[in-house]
Homo-oligomer: A and B are copies of this chain.
Amino acid sequence: MNADMKKVPKIPSIRRLANYLHLLKKMREDSKEHVSTTLLAKETHLEPIVVRKDLEITGISGQPGVGYRVDHLIAAIEKFIGWNNTSEAFIVGAGSLGRALLGYKGFESHGLKVLAAFDCDPSKTDTEIHGVPVFEMEKLPNLAARLNIRMAILCVPEKSAQSCADMLVSAGIKGIWNFSPVNLKVPAGVVVQNEDLASSLAVLSFKLSKNIQRAAEEAAANGVL
């Protein structure tokens, strides 16, 4: 622990920075040169003070009355997140979700390039999906080492998720984007980002059922029902 620990940003800030980045890139396409926190706040439905504090952690400072230069702000956020160099990744598991992610156009604009996919099902290997080659799983460690790959996207069924993660860690992978509904055990120094669709669905279901319940109660209180 040292004094720098205080500067570690909160995860929601990083998620919001990714959102600002997305908007800023659209502004750059529209040849906009400057942007204010007020405008970013309006577009993202956030309070201006939240936007200002998020941007501050990247180290950039705006000009009073002018705001930020769009291209400077894009560069600052990309550098902060670690997106100024394209990251290369493997996809592990070429089932329906893996295939969908291979076809997802959004990754490259966020600095992620998927170089290859791997699957243990021989009927899926030695093919290409959306231009990306699919290899048998056994080839992963050698290719990861040769290409110096640090990131993998895990889309395998639950029962093989932990063994695949172990194999990825042995192969030198340092970041796992986990789409399998499993709490992976990994050693210190390896980062796991869980993309848990079931838990998102839980949040939506919960809010929806509370909303419908509230509407019914209000209707009852107003004598509508």
Contacts and interface: CB of A to CB of B under 8 A. Distances in A.
Total copies of this chain within the assembly: 2
A205 B83 contact: yes
A209 B85 CA distance: 11
A185 B193 CA distance: 28
Contacts of A82: 205-206, 208-210
Contacts of A195: 197, 200
Interface in A174-208: 174-175, 177, 181, 183, 185, 189, 191, 193, 195-208
Interface residues of A, number: 59
A183 B15 CA distance: 13
Q: Which 5 A-B pairs have the closest CB atoms?
A: A100-B100, A82-B209, A96-B103, A18-B202, A193-B204
A20 to B, nearest CB: 10
A82 B212 CA distance: 11
A17 interface: yes
A103 B100 CA distance: 10
